């Protein structure tokens, strides 16, 4: 142990990089902030403190470097170079074969190619009528069960159900009608919470995710209660996968290009990639990641629009002029051209920081990084990362970064150096591992937000910024206090 400590502090290729000595000495430093400190999920904020103290490049654990430099982000996450991720991160969500979890670039690319056609812009445009139909269903539920009965709606749960209905329909061609639940408390509300609850333990102790998969289900439920909803979710996914497998095997009358899972099963993936366990991991990625990002963005947008009269009035005016009849929604292409609606969504995406946790890449060759006073040579094989949270809260790029200001996105916004502000919008990541579902998420957000805000007015109900909105922990996505019940509103 003494020899290891001496090596990490003085002899390691990373020994000359700035940062806390305790972080360089042991990975338990990160574990403490992610699991034991306060609400947990505090390491992202601790890294921000490190940068304030030590500069733009810091050693955050014995083996990894973090760079907080907006101009270097494209160097880390580039389309020009393929890169691997650290192997231990594959167990982060208990789905080691999913696209997001796959560490090796070659295998990641193979798996991603099988799904990419389903998320191309042209394909999403074909899906728009079905997304709109589900958004209309959401509005009917609001009218009948909340506005008419004069009771508050939990927007967080409602948007989870809306996105879950879209995602399961597109992934499996199954209509579960989660929007039909009395209070929008779909199973995915608890499943997503369960995935977030196990993410940090499985990241800090990679063997834990593997070990839990080997144990009987009843034992896992006893030892790790958050896994209960995750296991229920995984069981549902296995049933849906088997239905899709039977369709393919029996030659049923289905269109392989109609749903993502049928497309995967009839793709050119090798047979070993089509096992039930690996398909379950793909399904977890499609559903889990596919729900979390747009749900969080819609909830963030609604809270800030509802709570600011001027923003609400400006958005309502634009929507009324563009859509005189609320029952005749605009085509997606026209929604995309509404400047204030687009600005509200860009600002919500910036604040939602859907992928909050860092995603390290492994440098496959030495990389030079130059600060104002020296040049650092990052050794080959070193995990390096940057985080969306730090980019989107860079006060030079986004003054008053914690406030909701749609106006910052209007009229071709530029930074003080003259560069387009959109260069620094990284809500969906960048490079070869950017979010595969970006086009679908944007369509769901545009259609959902415009339909709601044109049809209803809202007033917040027993919701406070400090308890229900302010981000106090990084649970892979931004999270609020554990005692929050969500953002609630009365429908008018």
- The three-state (H, E, C) secondary structure of 340-364, written as one string: HHHHHHHHHHHHHCCCCCCCCEECC
Residue 389: what are its φ and ψ, rounded to 5°? -55, -50
Tell me if 54 sits within 8 A of 64, measured CB to CB.
no
For 444-481, give the DSSP string: HHHHHHHHHHHH--EEE-S--HHHHTS--EEESEEE--
CB 357 within 8 A of CB 474: yes
Triad 481, 482, 485: Cα angle to 5°: 90
Q: How far is CA 478 from the centre of its chain?
A: 9
Collapse the DSSP code of 65 into the 3-class scheme (helix H, G, I; strand E, B; otherwise coil) and give the result: strand
- Element (H or E) spanning 153, and its range? strand 153-154
226, 60 contact by CB (below 8 A): no
**Backbone angles phi and psi of 491, in degrees to 5:** -100, 125
Alpha-carbon distance 361 to 83, whole Å?
6
344 assigned binding-site residue: no
Q: Where are the beta strands (DSSP E) in 371-455?
A: 375-378, 383-385
Element (H, E) at 431: none
Q: How far is CA 314 from CA 155, 318, 400, in A?
A: 21, 6, 21
Binding-site annotation, residues: 435
Binding-site annotation, residues for heme: 435
């Amino acid at each position: 142990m003494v020899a290891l400590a001496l090596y990490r502090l003085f002899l390691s290729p990373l020994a000359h990089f700035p940062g806390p000595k305790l972080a360089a000495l042991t990975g338990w430093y990160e574990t403490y902030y992610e699991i034991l400190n306060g609400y947990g999920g505090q390491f992202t904020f601790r890294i921000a403190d490190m940068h304030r103290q030590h500069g733009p490049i810091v050693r955050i654990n014995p083996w990894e470097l973090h760079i907080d430099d907006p101009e270097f982000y494209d160097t880390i996450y580039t389309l020009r170079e393929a890169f691997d991720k650290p192997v231990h991160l594959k167990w982060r969500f208990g789905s080691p074969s999913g696209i997001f979890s796959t560490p090796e670039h070659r295998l990641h690319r193979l798996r991603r190619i099988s799904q990419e056609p389903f998320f191309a812009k042209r394909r999403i445009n074909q899906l728009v009528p079905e997304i709109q139909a589900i958004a209309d269903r959401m509005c009917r539920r609001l009218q009948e069960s909340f506005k008419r009965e004069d009771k508050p709606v939990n927007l967080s749960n409602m948007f989870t159900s809306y996105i879950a209905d879209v995602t399961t329909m597109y992934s499996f061609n199954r209509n579960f009608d989660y929007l039909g639940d009395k209070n929008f408390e779909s199973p995915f509300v608890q499943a997503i919470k369960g995935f977030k609850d196990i993410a940090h333990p499985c990241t800090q102790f990679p063997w834990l995710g593997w070990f839990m998969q080997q144990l009987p289900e009843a034992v896992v439920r006893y030892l790790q209660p958050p896994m209960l909803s995750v296991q229920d979710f995984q069981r549902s996914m296995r049933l849906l996968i088997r239905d899709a497998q039977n369709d393919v095997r029996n030659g049923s009358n289905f269109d392989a290009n109609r749903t993502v899972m049928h497309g995967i099963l009839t793709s050119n993936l090798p047979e070993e990639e089509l096992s039930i366990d690996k398909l379950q991991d793909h399904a977890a990625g499609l559903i889990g990641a596919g729900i979390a990002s747009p749900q969080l963005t819609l909830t963030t947008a609604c809270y800030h629009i509802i709570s600011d009269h001027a923003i609400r009035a400006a958005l309502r005016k634009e929507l009324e002029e563009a859509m005189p009849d609320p029952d005749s929604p605009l085509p997606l292409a026209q929604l995309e051209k509404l400047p204030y609606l687009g600005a509200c969504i860009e600002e919500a995406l910036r604040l939602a920081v859907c992928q909050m946790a860092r995603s390290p890449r492994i440098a496959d060759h030495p990389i030079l990084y130059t600060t104002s006073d020296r040049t650092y040579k990052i050794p080959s094989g070193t995990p390096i990362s940057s985080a969306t949270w730090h980019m989107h809260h860079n006060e030079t790029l986004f003054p008053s970064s914690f406030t909701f200001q749609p106006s910052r996105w209007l009229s071709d916004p530029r930074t003080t150096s003259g560069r387009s502000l959109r260069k620094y919008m990284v809500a969906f990541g960048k490079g070869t591992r950017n979010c595969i579902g970006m086009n679908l998420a944007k369509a769901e957000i545009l259609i959902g937000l415009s339909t709601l805000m044109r049809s209803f007015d809202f007033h917040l109900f027993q919701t406070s910024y400090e308890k229900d909105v302010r981000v106090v922990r990084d649970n892979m996505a931004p999270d609020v206090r554990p005692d929050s019940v969500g953002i609630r509103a009365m429908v008018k």
